[in-house]
Amino acid sequence: MTTMTMAGAINRGLRAAMERDPKVLLMGEDIGQLGGVFRVTDGLWKDFGGDRVMDTPLAESGIVGTAIGMAMRGYRPVIEIQFDGFIFPAYNQITTQLAKMHYRSQGMITLPVVIRVPFAGGIGAVEHHSESPEALFAHTAGLRVISPATPQDAFDMIQQAIASPDPVLFLEPKARYWDKGEVEESRIAAQLEGEHAAAAATAEMSRGRVAREGSDVTLVAYGPTMRLALQAAEVAGADGTSVEVIDLRSVSPLDSDTVLRSAKRTGRVVIVHEAPTAFGPGAELSARITEQAFFHLHAPVLRVGGFHAPYPGSKLEHDYLPSLDRVLDAVDRVMTH
């Protein structure tokens, strides 16, 4: 076990994937000699060279379009969108080309492209640097949308995403880049070897996990809000409410089974994410829970998230983002039913 930050874990995961497969290439703005804005690719240009770690022009649509062409020629491109708000110039390439090529070709063409996106808020950034656009891409069939919440998952899931034959949006919670945790580097290696490695990796990265067991309320989160969810569970537990915390890990596809098992047992569910609650991932999950576990529920499913407004300036972002008080208030409300 090695202690490392989430950024360091992603770096080590990228390095392992590049060592394993010479067809894995990295592309993005300033990812080469600089190592990226957050230094996630630090040292990779030096060790693998400019043919495999490529700085690109400031042209997100061109970056994604180039990656699509390279994937069609047998490469496995991993591209970085420097900040979440910069992904929109590439939206057309992602949703009409990358997501649909496998279906359009009746399965003849696969596009194993990974799009790394530092996303969400909490770092006091300027406009267009703190977006949570996951619902826009989860709505598009043909894309996988995943987000790690721990260094171990970051290390494992980036390699699983690269091994998958499907296009993957890999959302990295930028405010968690410096969170430290223990990482076991050897446990993922066996999964990524052998005839069925791609299928196993794809299935594993799409599964949710029970991060904390409880019996009174199910609290569902992913990526940037997982630390908040665990903190809320700790505080609620001190007051006598047993909270089970589920880390979705995958926004699309949703691991409904893991959530439903917990919801049927506790009868109460609160969903937390930084994306706006209006039309957000929590709305889809809430609908599934209500449809498939209605008679097990003791209270309506509640959501805590961003507001239906543009992301505010840095001085106001903590009024916009889910807070401990807002999450605990939701837990109290479902417990009163």
Catalytic residues, which ones? 129
Cross-strand bridge partners of residue 4: 181
Indicate the burial class of 206 (C-beta count within 10 angstroms; 0-12, 13-18, 19 or more): buried
Amino acid at 273: H
Helix (H, G, I), strand (E, B) or coil at 301: coil
* Residues contacting residue 19 through CB under 8 Å, at least 6 positions apart: none
* Residues contacting residue 249 through CB under 8 Å, at least 6 positions apart: 146, 147, 148, 149, 153, 157, 205, 206, 207, 208, 209, 222, 255
Measured distance CA(117)–CA(79) in Å, rounded = 9
Indicate the burial class of 45 (C-beta count within 10 angstroms; 0-12, 13-18, 19 or more): buried
Helix then strand count (H, E) for the chain reads 13, 14
